[in-house]
Amino acid sequence: MKKTYFEFVRESTKSLFRKREHMSTDQLQQQIDRLEKRLSELNKEGGLSSKRSQLESAIKVLKDELKSRKEKESPVSEGAAWTRKEGKNPEGGLNKKGVESYRRENPGSKLQTAVTTDPKKLKKGSKKAKRRLSFCRRMKGMKKKLTSAKTARDPNSRINKSLRKWNC
């Protein structure tokens, strides 16, 4: 039995909705283009409005899917300041703007800027002094165990910049 064009469109859109999760963004775009081409052919022929509305809804769903995927794929490119140069301090770590943007994206975060005060000026046993000591001990351990000899010697490595900034 030969299928009518209407049945063909209905079956292809049903299978398309099931398959769209497994399609790449390029494949989704190609499918949208194909459906739009079919829609324009239908409009020229003056086909049934039910066929047109079904194709239009399929195109709309696929475009929404494509848009949401593109937003998921590139959050960093338009992202918060902590992921870009303007949120980072050239001497290492994040600046105030970077820390604020990180907190906005991660609610409940307790991230703070570095304790850059000279250790001699900090009151012994104060909250800032304890925080600084804790950070220095943790990072020195990481430098010893988790970095290569080349990175450990490099003055521009991120770990050395952060240790300098915290006066370790």
Work out how many domains the chain is built from and give that number. Answer: 3
What does the longest C-alpha to C-alpha distance in the chain come to? 90
Cβ density class 102-114: b for 16+ within 10 Å, e for less: bbeeeeeeeeeeb
Of the two residues 48 and 145, the one the predictor is more confident about is: 145
Indicate if the pLDDT at residue 76 is higher than 60: no
What integer pLDDT is reported at residue 68 of this predicted model?
79
Q: 1: Cβ–Cβ under 8 A, 6 or more apart, which residues? A: none
Report yes or no: 66 and 29 within 8 Å, Cβ to Cβ.
Answer: yes
| Separation between Cα atoms, residue 101 and residue 9, nearest integer Å | 47
My answer on whether 120 and 159 are in the same domain is yes
Q: How confident is the model at residue 14 (pLDDT cuts 50, 70, 90)?
A: low
SS (H, E, C) 133-154: HHHHHHHHHHHHHHCCHHHHHC
Instruction: Point out the domain boundary residue: 23, 49, 73.
Output: 73
My answer on whether 44 and 86 are in the same domain is no
My answer on whether 9 and 48 are in the same domain is yes
What integer pLDDT is reported at residue 10 of this predicted model?
59
My answer on whether 139 and 162 are in the same domain is yes
Instruction: Point out the domain boundary residue: 20, 45, 73.
Output: 73
My answer on whether 100 and 151 are in the same domain is no
Has this prediction a pTM greater than 0.85? no
Q: How confident is the model at residue 2 (pLDDT cuts 50, 70, 90)?
A: low
My answer on whether 61 and 103 are in the same domain is no
pLDDT digits (tens, 9 = 90+) for 30-57: 888 888 888 888 788 776 677 777 778 7
Of the two residues 52 and 13, the one the predictor is more confident about is: 52
My answer on whether 47 and 24 are in the same domain is yes
What integer pLDDT is reported at residue 18 of this predicted model?
61
> What residues form DSSP beta bridges with 88?
94
My answer on whether 52 and 82 are in the same domain is no
Pick the most confident of 72-81, 84-93, 121-130, 143-152: 121-130
My answer on whether 37 and 80 are in the same domain is no
Mean pLDDT of the residues in the chain: 81
| Separation between Cα atoms, residue 18 and residue 36, nearest integer Å | 19
What integer pLDDT is reported at residue 133 of this predicted model?
94
Domain carrying residue 104: 76-113
